[in-house]
Amino acid sequence: MTDNLLQLAALGLLRDRAKAAYDAQRAVAEKDMKRSDRLSVWDPDEKIYLGAVSKSNPEKTAGVGDAEAFFDWVKANYPDDVDWDMDIVGPDDEVKAVLYQHAKHLVKLKEIVKPAFRAKVLEASNAAKEPAGPGGELDIPGIIMSAAASSNVSFRPSPDAAATLTELIRNGTVKVPDLLDVPDAPDGGE
């Protein structure tokens, strides 16, 4: 068991150091690339395709941030797209036992926006890049636009990448950080 735990600790250290080095290289690529870029990676002789580095291009998306305000707007402007639903108000065990028998004292009807209409509003909002209704209305109450996620740089290897990159690292063509290098102690101590 001790050998396993030592290997686990050692591999954890290497993983953390490799991830830090990988993240540093991704940050450099992030600065140099534009959103939606996809760049091919080749061996130095440009004979073997190793994969692609790409930068994502996330966009803002619409969502319902204030369900009550959105519901009130739909009810006032698109009443045919309001539907009924139920809130269960009785204890779960009692509801489960008698709902099948239509015990109306356990449920309460409530109005809701029809899911298909909600989807139309979100689609219109995503297209307009601001809260919008299906009729072109703007500033729809309750609809929010989430901030676009930050872009992400990633590498998608080709099937030949592992063997080729391993050889390029071994022969020194590709320089990688020494993951076993012990960092200096703080304040010059040991």
127-179: pLDDT as tens digits: 998 999 999 999 999 998 887 777 888 999 999 899 999 999 999 999 998 88
| Domain assignment of residue 188, yes or no | no
Q: Which residue has the tokens 């304040």?
A: 187
pLDDT at 110: 80
| Domain assignment of residue 174, yes or no | yes
Across the strands, what pairs with 88? 107
Q: Hey, how many other C-beta atoms are within 10 angstroms of the C-beta on 79?
A: 9
What domain count does the chain have? 2
Q: Does residue 189 register a pLDDT over 70?
A: no
pLDDT at 123: 93
pLDDT band at 186 (very low <50, low <70, confident <90, very high): low
Same structural domain for residues 44 and 78? Answer: no
pTM over 0.85: no
pLDDT in tens, 105-116: 767 778 899 999
| Domain assignment of residue 115, yes or no | yes
| Domain assignment of residue 190, yes or no | no
| Domain assignment of residue 38, yes or no | yes
Same structural domain for residues 126 and 80? Answer: yes
Same structural domain for residues 133 and 101? Answer: yes
pLDDT in tens, 9-29: 988 989 999 999 999 999 999
Same structural domain for residues 20 and 38? Answer: yes
Alpha helices (H) in 33-108, listed in sequence order: 67-77, 92-98
Same structural domain for residues 137 and 171? Answer: no
| Domain assignment of residue 53, yes or no | yes
pLDDT in tens, 89-133: 888 778 777 765 766 676 777 889 999 999 999 999 999 989 999
Same structural domain for residues 97 and 139? Answer: yes
Paired tokens of 174: 């590709």
Same structural domain for residues 140 and 72? Answer: yes
What range does the domain containing 87 cover? Answer: 61-146
| Domain assignment of residue 9, yes or no | yes
